[in-house]
Chains A and B, each alone.
Chain A
Amino acid sequence: MDFLTGITIFLVTFIAVALFIPGMFTPFESETVDLNSIAYRTSVILVEDPGRWNNTTIGGSDWERNVTTRANLKRIGLAIDKDNPNVLHLNKIKFFNNDSFMNNSEVIYNLSLYRRIGTTNVTYGYNISIVELGDGTIIAERGEIISSTSGDVVSMKRTVLAQTGYYAYLDGENLTQEDPVANTKPWINVTGSQDEDVVFEITNFNVTNPASTKYQWIKLNNSAFTNYNLTTGTEYNVWKKTNTTDFVLSPPVTSPINRTDTLKFVINRTLFFAGNNTLEMNFGGIDFKGGDPLEYTDSLLPIYELARLTVRVWS
């Protein structure tokens, strides 16, 4: 009887302890740890690393220019270089976002979004997006749509500067016009068809008649158009920045134009074709010097937008 009492007390406590132990380690469950660290790791690879490619002889981080065979792509990193983390390269984003350049399973294997169980690879669900902070424009999105069946989704958010295009910054004093026909009509040349909208800013205007400064029109000459007057809204837009205001979308005529004002032109990329595309603008009260048109593609600077890169992973 005593033995029975003893063994009962022992067994009851033993079972209670045995049941309690797994609960003790709930916060350290491996599944949660794995997913969080995978989301973190993926965000670091994308945001802070410029990536890596190599073939049998050479290699580098400029994979967006050199990868013709995807087997040569060793790592997908989006940073412009290793010294500039959080600054993402336009073409790297484009290639990353291009389904035909790399399909879903290639992204999964390149970013190691899977775990190995026995001899099979079990992939994680993922969704990676780059969204502009201001207006919420989606710059890139890869992966699957999160659904109610996705289960626990873990995420890692990063703030980045994503390059969204190029623009030319032109000094009004250097801008040329077709001498001697008119001195208020500067021209620039854009060589070849364009992947992105043509964007240029002009400032430092040589104002000769302050009372009559104005912008009038912009015309295009190329293999498809002759002296074609571009339409605002659909084909191009002009923004104006002054000393006191940031860029404001302006109607075609923005008067007056002061020396320190900046005009920004954004012209639809579909209007440009192979060969020369010459753009001629017409101002009033502003003089430009004579000479051959400046080449747009010679003076390009990158445009960066603040954006949020979010990595979401689920099992």
Chain B
Amino acid sequence: MKNESAQMNTIEGVSAAVLMMITLFFVTQSSIITPQTEMVLDTQLKQLGNDALRVLDSEEITNNYTTNNTMLEMYVANWSADDLDSDLDMLLTDNIMYNLDFVHLETDLNMNRSRVITSGAPVENSVVVSRLVSLHSDDDVSTRWNLTIAPTDVKVVDVRLTLWYI
């Protein structure tokens, strides 16, 4: 009897240890540990992307007198990929790469996505920011858009910027 009780002590110790290790194993496996710095980098990247599109889409950047359209509206209407590329290159920091798409709804309600600027394949932690731009019939719309806009109509284009750090 005495011996069995002593063995129980050992078994209890071992089982308690196993229980703790299993609990710890499950805790570490189940919780998603995202390093804080990575989340901050994502926020920073998203913020710079949003700022770039927002600045290009502000009335103030055209210095008020030449046109009523913003730079972004003109670039989208004219399909000026090179101008847009050089502006984004200046607005974003040197360690950022980006792709840019124009996304719009065709008359047959198909989603049309056109790659306008390609810098390469986005990496795993890329972020996407976007801004809606309206094209009007009196805008200087490029033939590349292949669409006619009725005077009472507007065409909404989603400008999508995919950014990642290199």
Closest residue on chain A to residue B33 by CB atoms: A27
A13-B20, A17-B24 given; A161·B10 CB < 8 A: no
On chain A, the residues within 8 Å of B63 by CB distance are: 301, 303-304
Closest residue on chain A to residue B35 by CB atoms: A27
Contact with B along A124-158 (1 / 0, CB 8 A): 00000000011000000000000000000010111
A1-B6, A84-B58, A301-B65 given; A7·B51 CB < 8 A: no
Q: Tell me whether A85 is interfacial, beta carbon within 8 Å.
A: yes
Q: Tell me whether B143 is interfacial, beta carbon within 8 Å.
A: no
What separation, in Å, do the CA atoms of A304 and B40 have in the docked complex? 29
When the two chains form their complex, are residues A158 and B51 in contact, meaning their CB atoms are under 8 A apart? yes
What separation, in Å, do the CA atoms of A17 and B23 have in the docked complex? 10
Contact with B along A25-44 (1 / 0, CB 8 A): 00111001100100010010
Closest residue on chain B to residue A10 by CB atoms: B13
Interface size on A, residues (CB 8 A): 45
When the two chains form their complex, are residues A10 and B17 in contact, meaning their CB atoms are under 8 A apart? yes
On chain B, the residues within 8 Å of A10 by CB distance are: 12-13, 16-17
Number of contact residues on B: which range applies?
35 or more
The interface centre, meaning the residue of B11, B12, B31, B55 with most chain A CB atoms within 10 A of its CB, is B55
Q: Tell me whether B81 is interfacial, beta carbon within 8 Å.
A: no
When the two chains form their complex, are residues A29 and B36 in contact, meaning their CB atoms are under 8 A apart? yes
Closest residue on chain B to residue A87 by CB atoms: B60
On chain B, the residues within 8 Å of A1 by CB distance are: 6
What separation, in Å, do the CA atoms of A27 and B92 have in the docked complex? 28
Nearest-neighbour CB distance to chain A for B31, whole angstroms, equals: 8
When the two chains form their complex, are residues A306 and B36 in contact, meaning their CB atoms are under 8 A apart? no
Q: Tell me whether B134 is interfacial, beta carbon within 8 Å.
A: no
On chain B, the residues within 8 Å of A29 by CB distance are: 36
On chain A, the residues within 8 Å of B36 by CB distance are: 27-29, 32-33, 36
Besides the known contacts A28-B36, A304-B63, 6 further A-B residue pairs in the complex with CB atoms under 8 A apart: A2-B6, A17-B24, A36-B43, A87-B58, A157-B93, A301-B64
